[in-house]
Structures are given as structure tokens and as C-alpha cells.
Amino acid sequence: MTPTRRTLLGAALTGATAAVGLPATPASAASWQLKWSPSASADGLGAFETIEDDRANSHPAGHPHIRPEGNNWRFTMHRVDRDTMTDRQRQEVTGLRTSPGSYLKWLPGQTWRLTYSMYIPSSLKATTTFTHIMQMKQPGNGSSPIVVQSLRRVNGAQTIELQLPISGTLVGRTSLDPLHDRWTDVDFQIKVGNGTSGSVRWILKSGGTTLIDKARTGVDTFLADRVRPKWGIYRSLGDSSGSLQDCHLLLTDLRGYQLV
């Protein structure tokens, strides 16, 4: 049975500018404005700029690996799935589409915020190599990630973390155990900036409890062109902990805000 979700996000947006670890701005001068609010049941995969569902056609019997399921978006990963680079697996969506011919572009100097809820079943485990469930990247093949939210084993323990790969900065890390088999609220904020002009804040909450709230300023959050979010499961097959299983990830209540 697909778990249902009761929305807990939204209220935290009100009057939050000065508290997010980003440059404080008087409330009269700037506020979070909703720019993207898709529904899985109404918009389906049309909510996203691109769909990366089994790009290598490695497992036709498993199609579709990415699909709307009620009010959720479901990303299914089978152990036999392979990406075009066969040492890894990828089932991801990219971008924030606002109409059939338009999508949001995150550019230097802009500040953006994503809120959503995710359901991580116990079958989606942390690994000794990379397992990303959210990324920020420059569009285009072969570009390096700017931000990654990952499930990683650290000294044998399962954790969830946020890193900035350009500088190798660990924003924060916490235990994955309290997130398994329940809904977790994600609040991610980014000021797009080159060199030391970027900022990020990462908050996870579950059942009204804040699990982690970490921010970094003076960091690099831009490569070239624009920044584009990605969601789904992207993982290496090089795990040495025996954690790779058939699994899935659920997302719901995706919202995108800009500080204007």
C-alpha cells in the first residue's frame, strides 16, 4: 500500500528570510514567492523539464521506473537496472517545468527554495559509494554536481548528508534510521553564486521534530549556464556493504519559491 502524506510544510516559509542562513533582507523588501507547485495526480511527469528513466533501456520489463502514483511521484530501482555508464544506476527527473514550453532557470544572484516530502523505505539503504536522492547540476552531459543529498555509510552507520562537491564541503549529516519507512519534510535553500558568493541551508523534519538544520555561507554554488535540480535515485554499483536492493523513493508536495 502506498503511504499517504499529511503536509507539514508551508508555515515555515512565513517571515523566514532572516532565519535561513542566507543574507538577511527586510521583510518589506523581499519575500518568498511561489513559482512552482505541481501535482503528481494532475501534472504527472509534465512537472519536470526532463525524465531520465532507464536511459540505456536496460530493463524494459520494469518500465516505467518513474511514474505518478496518486499524489506521489514514484522512482523505482531494480538491482538489474543499469545506466548508460554500466557501473551505476539512474532513475531521475530534472528541472521545474511551469508549462509545456517553459521551465524555471536558477541564475547567479538569485535565491531559491525547495520544499517537499520524501518517503524512504528501509529497502533504500545508505551505501559505501554514492547514492544520491537529490542533486543540483549545470545542465548538460558530464557536468559535475553542485549540491548532492546522499545516503552514505559512515563507519558502518547509515546516514543522510548534504555536500557541496565543488569545494568538498560537508554541509551536514545525520542518521538515516529515523527517516526510514516514514515521511520526511525537506526544506532546501540556495543562493546561486560563484566563488564565495553562494549560500545553502538544509533542513529535515519528521513528525514535527527537526532532525537537522545546517547552513553554509561563502560557498560556491555555480558552475556555468544555470543551476538545475534533480530528484530520484542515482547510485553506484560499487557498494561493499551488501546494501543494494530493489527499492523505491516517493516524493510529494513539491514546491519552488524564489526570494524576490
pLDDT digit string (tens) for 33-59?
Answer: 999 999 999 999 999 999 999 999 999
This prediction's pTM:
0.91
pLDDT in tens, 193-238: 999 999 999 999 999 899 999 999 999 999 999 999 999 999 999 9
Whether the per-residue pLDDT at 183 is higher than 50: the answer is yes
Strand pairing report for 228-236 and 157-164:
unpaired
For the record, the C-alpha cell of 74 comes out as: 514514484
Domain 38-259, architecture per CATH: Sandwich (2.60)
3-state SS class at 44: helix
164 vs 179: CA distance, rounded Å: 22
Give CA 158 to chain center in angstroms.
18
Strand order in 145-154's β-sheet? 50-53, 88-94, 228-236, 131-137, 145-154, 157-164, 169-175
The residue with greater pLDDT, 140 or 155, is: 155
User: Of 114, 103, 122, whose CA–CA distance to 149 is shortest?
Assistant: 114
Name every residue whose Cβ is closer than 8 Å to that of residue 232 and which is 6 or more positions away in sequence: 52, 66, 75, 90, 91, 92, 93, 133, 249
**pLDDT at position 22:** 54
